[in-house]
């Protein structure tokens, strides 16, 4: 008696019979109201942050290139000039690296001008043209590539010294709104400051590759245009395979699980056999670890007998443990299989649940898009700031130049005697209230992203749990199942349990943000190569990973209890945890059997679609007519990988619904065992298959049909 009381105190008391309980409680009240209010206030603040970012931000700074005066190309006065031309594009390569250029909106320390079209022919100024004017060399020859406002009669040499006009032009093509030179032309002019044509080719090629070469983008777009409908067909096949696999589990769950278990045992048995053969061969040869000694070449240990003997022992122990578990846990494995079959039956009765992941996907997409727009607008808030810059301040005439001081890009440099002095873009001013609070607003946005994403996922889990619980607690199936179980669960969850979902989502979000911060710190410490710091960081990361997994597991089961009983988050989490603890062996067996089965299902769907896509897009399926002929592609692997990725997403969505169904029915099954005893007043709600496995039955009144 004392041991039983101690067990009840440790793991909680079993659920008591409630004569009014008939499945998910309809007469419930709002839970975790304080957290609900905080969540709604946070969302309101999130909307305010979005409005502030929209008012002060300007994403055109990213979408459209800017010339040296700060004006946008393709807008306003430059509406007919959509492209940006760099006077000396090699300064982008020689002065800094391409990553820095990209971070500053592809701005380079060279004058930039908006043009209507990019240069089509190579040209460089000759010494004989130094005595001419800008109009004679540029405007008369239809070379409209000087900065705005340069007069016709300005001497050419003066315009070149002040960098008001380019000293050379290269044949270019528009890419990302910029005129980027070709790197495959043969005629290259002699350019000042560039040693050889080889360096030109190398520099241009590297720049174009770093900015994602336009030619590759066009080919990828062409491949998608040629194969998009066949990709949709592959995704349709994945959808059909996923649905068939889940629906057929009610018939083949037992054989499939048996095949998988035998397959695992067979793999281990083959491993034992292979290790024995390798050990026997090396033993006959006399290869021992004493001859090898200690070495850092790990592959060398594969040629000694002790390695294969240790592997043989480990595999044999695993094989023996697995066989013992199968012998002693065979009853619980049968229960797990029966629950999988019951879950397949529940999904077949409520097919609308299979498509609920589409709702979750749309809501997640909205959350991510909203955060991305806020981040973009906040990053582009503030006015652009320009400073004086010179390539070499040690040159004569540059000693007294106030480098890095503010300047007006529309005005002439204060000291034109300094070679290469110019007013360049530095960044965006951070003197305003919004700019000073930019970091805090971005942190608020990141918290909003994690919180809203986890809340949407929690909403999906709770809604599905409510729908599947209504199936289990229907005594006469399918007659007692509600007409619209999914819609009723959705409305019930939003109306009463928004705060509870927000509570669980907030806890998980804080842990995930802590993991992100640790990853950032670890990235910064990698250069230090401090073994102790790396070890401590690895331990912290491992602990947070385990904590996140535990919280996800606890939240998932807490949402199931919330959907059924309508209690607050803490009470639901406690009751779920205690219920699972009292049935820990069943939990482990069901979890592993379900994971193994769903893994097999994903491999079946993704592998089947991948193999079918490979044979089709590579033209290895003979006998197809012209209507089913494979398209001619530049990269045949592109639609194959797209089909495989899409099949994995579809299979994950369908199997996540099935996994939620299994977990919900399992908790209901455990509650059913504790609440009821099969009598007329307290009948079991579980299926006949589960009753048969457990050796239980419902008492039927005389003259009536038994359940």
DSSP 526: T
Cβ-Cβ contacts under 8 Å for 282 (sequence gap 6 or more): 303, 304, 305, 308
Helix (H) or strand (E) holding 169: strand 168-169
Residues 620-647 have a mean pLDDT of 73
Q: Which among 295, 386, 378 has a CA at the least distance from the CA of 109?
A: 386
Sheet holding 172-175, edge to edge: 112-115, 83-86, 178-181, 172-175
Please state whether the peptide bond connecting residue 637 to the residue before it is cis, i.e. omega within 30 degrees of 0: no
420-444: pLDDT as tens digits: 666 666 666 655 565 667 778 888 9
User: Which has more pLDDT, 189 or 15?
Assistant: 15
Query: Is the pLDDT score of 293 beyond 80?
Result: no
Q: How confident is the model at residue 630 (pLDDT cuts 50, 70, 90)?
A: low
Q: Which among 390, 384, 386 has a CA at the least distance from the CA of 403?
A: 390
Cβ-Cβ contacts under 8 Å for 187 (sequence gap 6 or more): 122
CB atoms < 10 A from the CB of 46, how many?
20
Burial code (b: 16+ CB inside 10 Å, e: under 16) for 347-378 equals bbbbeebbebbeebeebbeebeebbebbbbbb
Query: Is the pLDDT score of 106 beyond 50?
Result: no
Query: Is the pLDDT score of 384 beyond 60?
Result: yes
CB atoms < 10 A from the CB of 279, how many?
19
Residues 452-479 have a mean pLDDT of 89
Which tokens go with 506? 């907030």
Q: Work out the angle at residue 332's Cα, subtended by the Cα atoms of residues 326 and 664, and round it to the nearest 5 degrees.
A: 135
Query: Is the pLDDT score of 100 beyond 50?
Result: no
Q: Which of 199-208, 556-565, 686-695 has the lowest mean pLDDT?
A: 199-208
Q: Which among 674, 671, 676, 501 has a CA at the least distance from the CA of 24?
A: 671
- Which segments of 329-404 does DSSP mark as H helices, in order? 330-349, 356-379
Cβ-Cβ contacts under 8 Å for 415 (sequence gap 6 or more): 397, 398, 400, 401, 421
Given phi > 0 = left and psi -120 to 50 = alpha, else beta, which region is 679?
beta
Q: Which among 86, 61, 88, 85 has a CA at the least distance from the CA of 75?
A: 61
Q: How confident is the model at residue 624 (pLDDT cuts 50, 70, 90)?
A: low
Name the pTM for this structure.
0.73
Regarding beta strands 178-181 and 384-389, do their DSSP bridges make them parallel or antiparallel, or are they unpaired? unpaired
As a whole number, the mean pLDDT across the chain is: 78
Which tokens go with 115? 């043009």
With a pLDDT cut of 70, the percent of the chain lying above it is 75
User: Which has more pLDDT, 119 or 110?
Assistant: 119
CB atoms < 10 A from the CB of 169, how many?
21
Cβ-Cβ contacts under 8 Å for 226 (sequence gap 6 or more): 631, 632, 633
- Which segments of 57-97 does DSSP mark as H helices, in order? 60-63, 90-94
At residue 253, what are phi and psi to the nearest 5 degrees?
Answer: -60, -45
For 117-150, give the DSSP string: S---S-EE--GGGTTSBHIIIIITTT---SPTT-
Q: How far apart are CA 83 and CA 190, in angstroms?
A: 25
Q: Tell me what pLDDT residue 696 has.
A: 76
Q: Tell me what pLDDT residue 413 has.
A: 47
Question: In this structure, are residues 50 and 513 in contact, taking their beta carbons and an 8 Å threshold?
Answer: no
Q: Which among 520, 627, 505, 486 has a CA at the least distance from the CA of 569?
A: 505
Q: Tell me what pLDDT residue 252 has.
A: 78
Greatest Cα-to-Cα distance within the chain, rounded to the nearest angstrom: 119
Q: How far apart are CA 383 and CA 391, in angstroms?
A: 25
Q: How confident is the model at residue 648 (pLDDT cuts 50, 70, 90)?
A: confident
295-327: pLDDT as tens digits: 555 566 667 777 788 888 999 999 899 888 888
């Amino acid at each position: 008696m004392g041991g039983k009381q101690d067990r009840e105190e440790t793991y909680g008391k079993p659920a008591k019979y409630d004569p009014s309980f008939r499945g998910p409680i309809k007469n419930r009240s709002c839970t975790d109201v304080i957290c609900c209010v905080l969540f709604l206030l946070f969302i309101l603040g999130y909307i305010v942050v979005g409005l502030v970012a929209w008012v002060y931000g300007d994403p055109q700074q990213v979408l459209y290139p800017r010339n040296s005066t700060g004006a946008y190309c393709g807008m306003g006065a430059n509406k007919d000039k959509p492209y940006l031309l760099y006077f000396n594009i090699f300064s982008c390569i020689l002065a800094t690296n391409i990553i820095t250029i990209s971070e500053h909106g592809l701005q380079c320390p060279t004058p930039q001008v908006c043009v209507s079209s990019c240069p089509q022919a190579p040209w460089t100024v000759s010494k004989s043209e130094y005595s001419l004017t800008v109009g004679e060399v540029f405007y008369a020859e239809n070379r409209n590539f000087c900065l705005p406002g340069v007069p016709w009669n300005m001497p050419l040499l003066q315009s070149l010294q002040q960098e008001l006009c380019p000293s050379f032009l290269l044949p270019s093509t528009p890419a990302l709104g910029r005129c980027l030179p070709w790197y495959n032309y043969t005629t290259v002019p002699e350019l000042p400051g560039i040693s050889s044509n080889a360096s030109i080719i190398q520099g241009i090629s590297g720049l174009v590759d770093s900015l994602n070469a336009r030619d590759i983008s066009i080919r990828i777009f062409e491949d998608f245009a040629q194969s998009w409908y066949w990709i949709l067909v592959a995704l349709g096949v994945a959808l059909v395979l996923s649905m068939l696999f889940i629906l057929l589990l009610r018939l083949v769950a037992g054989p499939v699980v048996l095949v998988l278990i035998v397959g695992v045992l067979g793999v281990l048995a083959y491993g034992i056999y292979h290790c024995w053969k390798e050990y026997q061969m090396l033993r006959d040869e006399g290869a021992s670890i004493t001859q090898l000694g200690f070495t850092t070449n790990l592959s060398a240990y594969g040629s000694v007998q002790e390695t294969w003997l240790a592997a043989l022992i480990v595999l044999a122990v695993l094989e023996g443990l697995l066989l013992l578990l199968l012998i002693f846990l065979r009853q619980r494995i049968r229960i797990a299989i029966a629950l999988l079959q019951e879950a397949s039956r529940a999904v077949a009765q409520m097919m609308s649940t299979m498509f609920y992941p589409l709702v979750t996907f749309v809501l997640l997409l909205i959350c991510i898009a909203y955060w991305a727009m806020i981040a973009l607008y906040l990053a582009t808030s503030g006015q652009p700031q320009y400073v004086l810059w010179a390539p070499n301040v040690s040159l004569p005439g540059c000693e007294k130049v106030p480098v890095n001081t503010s300047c007006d890009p529309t005005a002439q440099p204060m000291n034109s005697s300094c070679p290469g002095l110019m007013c360049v873009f530095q960044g965006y001013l951070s003197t305003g209230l919004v700019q000073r609070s930019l970091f805090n607003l971005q942190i608020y946005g990141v918290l909003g992203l994690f919180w809203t994403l986890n809340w949407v996922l929690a909403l999906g889990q709770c809604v599905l749990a409510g729908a599947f619980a209504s199936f289990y607690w229907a005594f006469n199936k399918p007659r007692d199942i509600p007409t619209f179980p999914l819609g009723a669960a959705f409305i019930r969850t939003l109306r009463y349990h928004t705060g509870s979902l927000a509570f669980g989502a907030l806890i998980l979000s804080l842990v995930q943000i802590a993991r992100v911060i640790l990853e950032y710190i670890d990235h910064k410490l990698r250069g230090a190569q401090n073994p102790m710091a790396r070890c401590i960081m690895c331990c912290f990361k491992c602990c947070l990973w385990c904590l996140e997994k535990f919280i996800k597991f606890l939240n998932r089961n807490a949402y199931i209890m919330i959907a059924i009983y309508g209690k607050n988050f803490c009470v639901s989490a406690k009751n779920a945890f205690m219920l699972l603890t009292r049935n820990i062996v069943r939990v482990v067996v069901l979890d592993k059997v379900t994971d193994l089965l769903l893994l097999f299902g994903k491999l079946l769907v993704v592998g089947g679609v991948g193999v079918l896509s490979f044979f089709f897009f590579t033209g290895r399926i003979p006998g197809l007519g012209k209507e089913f002929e494979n398209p001619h592609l530049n990269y045949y692997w592109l639609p194959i990988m797209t089909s495989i990725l899409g099949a994995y997403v579809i299979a994950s969505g369908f199997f996540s619904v099935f996994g939620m169904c299994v977990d919900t029915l399992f908790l209901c099954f455990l509650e059913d065992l504790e609440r009821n005893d099969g009598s007329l007043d307290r009948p079991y709600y579980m299926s006949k298959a589960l009753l048969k496995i457990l050796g239980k039955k419902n008492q039927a009144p005389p003259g009536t049909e038994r359940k």
